[in-house]
């Protein structure tokens, strides 16, 4: 059986218990993605499922939410097992479980992967966990040691099954499937369906429901489409640079969550743009008023979610910016269609992280249109644009009848400072452009501070490939000399020997959350109460804020500068 999502159900229509609905509300999720709408009700009912979906489509929540709904927290036993191809994915998935389960008192999830300290895993297992998210090799190690008991398992999820096949884990996956009770439910997620995966589905799944999100849509020809591959500059800086250089009338910036609409609008307002959020939490009156404002031109930028901007028809909108890539091709077409209205031309720009390239290809395939790659405006373009803007406002001012007081000040400066009119004018230009310097500061390459973990191709990430045996000496060992000390600064994080933290866990968390490549992370000095880690200079505030909240060993890192305890400087550019 194959299902498509044409209607637009809300989370409340998917039979999810109220504690999950309120967790989703807190996370700012507005509406289920197509894969979520199509799979959640079936998984809750206990049906086996084959879901064709890739990363970025919201598939983690598509299995995490319904399996959480089936968990009995009072029962101290592993009830859901998720198998993932890589360590990073295992960590990411277990964090997702943790955040969705925020209202489930006493709930425990444990990521298990090769290279991680076995004793820690054994201790956590002894304490009791409800969900295990594991890479296959390490899970087999536990099964052969009998340190994991799957006898009460209700659901097994195979996440990114085609990746597990590609990485040579498929035999392990079968062995694990055979070690689970017959009564368990199987949910298999895979971006593609190569024959060996199809075989697993046929052999181990009972009357599975097959969910494939099909889209058949096209975009308007009068809309130019571009994407920028997120690298070297974070998304917020990239956006402000585009806002400065792009000639736009009105713009809609699309993000994924309601929370992000508010946060991003605040950040843009702080940077001097007139931006407003538009999300499903706002009352109808306020939404209408916001739309009126952008129509009339008293507002230029809307930061919107898909739901809130559905069907929006504002002629002034010359640009659509996909700050977060949409999780399905159809949403892309809807978003892009908010520009190029009434026969006008429009421009659509999308930020794509390296990890999301597959989604980009899928959009191109669906819309049968190539999306051109673009570079961010260069520093020279910024200089030209800023000079041009300044000249045009000076030219306006020259047309005004200015009082003699202004001229007198210039004359006085000439004598008092013994300066020429050109020198005084240059100083005034400098003052006028203090916030947007005509000569922007030079960029320091910050390859390590890209948006989340987006650097290497996924099968190239360390630790993910061969998790069995878990040789972690590479990361544990001496990280000295990885990077020149002059390029690094030291940060204090709130985990230490008291938490039994390992260098590998610290590297894993920082690499995963801040997108800092493992090799860019310098020395790690673990002390009793805290640790000190060297990271590349020039950490953007956004990364810093993320790292403050990251948890390792259940403890928030609360990262701070080690030497002077000051937060990193705000970037200028």
Collapsed DSSP state (helix, strand, coil) of residue 372:
strand
- 185: phi > 0 → left, psi -120 to 50 → alpha, else beta; which? beta
Cα 257 versus chain centre, distance: 11
Binding to ligand AMP (CB under 6 A) within 143-162 occurs at: none
DSSP 284-352: HHHHHHHHHHHHHTS--EEEE-TTTTTT---TTEEEEEESS--SSHHHHHHHHTTSSGGG--EEEEEEE
Whole-angstrom distance, CA of residue 250 vs CA of residue 341: 12
Minimum Å gap between C-beta 21 and ligand AMP is 12
252: β partners: 302, 320
Phi, psi for residue 537 in degrees, rounded to 5 = -65, 155
**Residue 29 or 227: which CB sits closer to ligand AMP?**
29
| Binding footprint of ligand AMP, residue count (CB under 6 A) | 14
DSSP 452: T
Nearer to ligand AMP, 98 or 124 (CB): 98
Q: Which of 5, 39, 55, 185 binds ligand AMP (CB under 6 A)?
A: 55
When the beta carbons of 54 and 366 are compared against ligand AMP, the nearer one is 54
Please count the residues of the chain.
Answer: 573
> What's the CA gap between 94 and 99, in Å, rounded?
9
Residue from the set 51, 58, 208, 540 that interacts with ligand AMP by CB under 6 A: 58
Distance CA 347, CA 317 (A): 9
Task: Write down the least CB distance from residue 45 to ligand AMP, Å.
Answer: 20
Round to whole Å and give the CA distance between 307 and 29: 11
Residue 61 or 131: the one with the smaller Cβ distance to ligand AMP is 61
- DSSP secondary structure letter of residue 106: T
In the complex with ligand AMP, the residue whose CB is nearer, 36 or 448, is 36
Dist. CA 209–CA 38, nearest whole Å: 10
Q: Which DSSP helix (H) or strand (E) runs through 254?
A: strand 250-254
The interface region with ligand AMP, picked from 54-62, 76-84, 408-416, 473-481 by CB under 6 A, is 54-62
Subset of 257-316 contacting ligand AMP (CB under 6 A): 257
**Does residue 461 belong to the site contacting ligand AMP (CB under 6 A)?**
no
Helix (H) or strand (E) holding 226: strand 223-229
Rounded to a whole number of angstroms, the minimum distance from the CB of residue 498 to ligand AMP is 31
Nearer to ligand AMP, 353 or 531 (CB): 353
Beta pairing class for 524-526 and 531-536 = antiparallel
CB of 426 to ligand AMP, least distance (A): 48
Using the minimum distance from each CB to ligand AMP, give the nearer residue, 363 or 495.
363
Contact 90, 113 (CB under 8 A): yes
Give the residue with the Cβ less far from ligand AMP, 160 or 237.
Answer: 160
Please report whether residue 256 would count as binding ligand AMP according to CB under 6 A: yes
User: By C-beta, is 111 or 496 nearer to ligand AMP?
Assistant: 111
Q: Please, which residues have CB within 8 angstroms of residue 396's CB and are 6 or more apart in sequence?
A: none
Residue 60 or 502 having the CB closest to ligand AMP? 60
Strand, coil or helix: 270: helix
Residues 59-78: x where in contact with ligand AMP by CB under 6 A, - otherwise, as a string: xxx-----------------
| Nearer residue to ligand AMP within complex by CB, 154 or 256 | 256
Structure tokens given for 103 = 């209202």
Q: Which of residues 90-149 bind ligand AMP (CB under 6 A)?
A: none
Q: Kindly identify the residues of this chain, within the stretch 483-502, that bind ligand AMP according to CB under 6 A.
A: none
Among 56, 340, 464, 470, binds ligand AMP (CB under 6 A): 56
Segment interacting with ligand AMP, rule: CB under 6 A, options 57-65, 400-408, 456-464, 508-516: 57-65
Measure the CA–CA gap between 291 and 518, rounded to whole angstroms: 45
Quote the least distance from Cβ 68 to ligand AMP, whole Å.
14
* Residues in Cβ contact with 322 at an 8 Å cutoff, skipping those fewer than 6 apart: 254, 332, 335, 348, 349, 350, 351
Q: In this structure, are residues 346 and 315 in contact, taking their beta carbons and an 8 Å threshold? A: no
CB of 177 to ligand AMP, least distance (A): 22
Question: Parallel, antiparallel, or unpaired: how do β-strands 223-229 and 346-352 relate?
Answer: parallel
Q: Which residues inside 13-52 make contact with ligand AMP, applying CB under 6 A?
A: 29-30, 32-33, 36
Q: Which stretch binds ligand AMP (CB under 6 A): 55-63, 102-110, 187-195, 213-221?
A: 55-63
Nearest approach, Cβ of residue 355 and ligand AMP (Å): 9
CB of 24 vs ligand AMP, minimal distance in Å:
7
3-class DSSP assignment, residue 178: helix
**How many whole angstroms separate alpha carbon 189 and alpha carbon 201?**
10
CB of residue 150 to ligand AMP, shortest distance in Å: 24
| Least Å from the CB of residue 342 to ligand AMP | 30
Give min distance, CB of 473 to ligand AMP, in A: 31
Q: Which is nearer to ligand AMP, 326 or 536 (CB)?
A: 326
Q: Enumerate binding residues for ligand AMP (CB under 6 A).
A: 29-30, 32-33, 36, 55-61, 256-257
């Amino acid at each position: 059986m194959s299902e498509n999502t044409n209607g637009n159900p809300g989370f409340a229509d998917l039979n999810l218990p109220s504690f999950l609905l309120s967790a989703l509300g807190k996370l700012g999720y507005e509406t289920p993605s197509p894969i979520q709408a199509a799979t959640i009700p079936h998984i809750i009912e206990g049906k086996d499922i084959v879901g064709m979906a890739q990363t970025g489509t919201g598939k983690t929540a598509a299995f995490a939410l319904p399996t959480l709904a089936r968990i009995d927290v009072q029962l101290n036993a592993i009830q859901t097992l998720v198998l993932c191809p890589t360590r990073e994915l295992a960590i990411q998935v277990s964090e997702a479980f943790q955040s969705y389960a925020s209202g489930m008192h006493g709930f425990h999830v444990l990521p298990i992967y090769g290279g991680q300290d076995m004793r820690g895993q054994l201790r956590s297992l002894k304490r009791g966990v409800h969900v295990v998210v594991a890479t296959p090799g390490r899970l087999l190690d536990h099964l052969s040691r009998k340190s994991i008991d799957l006898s009460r398992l209700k659901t097994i999820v195979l996440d990114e099954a085609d990746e597990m096949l590609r990485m040579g884990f498929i035999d392990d996956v079968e062995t694990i499937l055979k070690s689970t009770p017959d009564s368990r439910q199987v949910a298999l997620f895979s971006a593609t369906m190569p024959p060996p995966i199809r075989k697993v589905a046929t052999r181990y799944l009972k009357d599975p429901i097959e969910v494939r999100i099909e889209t058949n849509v096209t975009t308007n020809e009068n809309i130019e489409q571009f994407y920028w591959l997120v690298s070297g500059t974070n998304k917020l800086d990239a956006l402000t640079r585009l806002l400065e250089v792009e000639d736009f009338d009105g713009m809609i910036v699309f993000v994924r969550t309601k929370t992000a609409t508010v946060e991003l609008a605040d950040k843009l307002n702080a940077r001097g743009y007139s931006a407003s959020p538009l999300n499903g939490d706002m009352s109808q009156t306020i939404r209408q008023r916001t739309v009126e404002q952008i129509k009339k031109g008293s507002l230029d930028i809307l930061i919107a979610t898909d739901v809130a901007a559905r069907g929006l028809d504002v002629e002034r909108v010359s640009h659509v910016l996909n700050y977060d890539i949409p999780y399905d091709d159809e949403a892309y077409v809807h978003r892009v269609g908010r520009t190029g209205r009434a026969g006008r031309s429009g421009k659509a720009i999308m930020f794509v992280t390296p990890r999301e390239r597959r989604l980009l290809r899928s959009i191109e395939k669906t819309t049968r249109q190539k999306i051109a790659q673009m570079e961010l405006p260069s520093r020279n373009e910024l200089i030209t644009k800023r000079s041009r803007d300044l000249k045009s406002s000076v030219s306006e001012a020259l047309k005004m009848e200015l009082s003699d007081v202004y001229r007198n000040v210039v004359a006085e400066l000439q004598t008092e400072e013994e300066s020429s009119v050109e020198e005084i004018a240059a100083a005034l230009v400098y003052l006028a452009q203090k916030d947007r310097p005509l000569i922007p500061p030079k960029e320091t390459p910050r390859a390590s501070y890209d948006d989340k973990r987006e650097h290497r191709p996924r099968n190239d990430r360390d630790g993910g490939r061969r998790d069995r045996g878990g040789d972690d000496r590479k990361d544990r060992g001496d990280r000295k000399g990885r990077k020149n000390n002059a390029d690094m600064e030291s940060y204090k994080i709130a985990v230490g020997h008291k938490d039994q933290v390992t260098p590998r866990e610290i590297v894993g968390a920082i690499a995963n959350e801040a997108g800092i490549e493992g090799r860019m992370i310098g020395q790690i000095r673990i002390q009793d109460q805290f640790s000190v880690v060297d990271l590349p200079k020039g950490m953007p505030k956004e990364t810093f804020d993320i790292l403050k909240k990251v948890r390792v060993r259940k403890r928030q890192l609360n990262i701070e500068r080690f030497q002077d305890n000051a937060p990193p400087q705000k970037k200028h550019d």
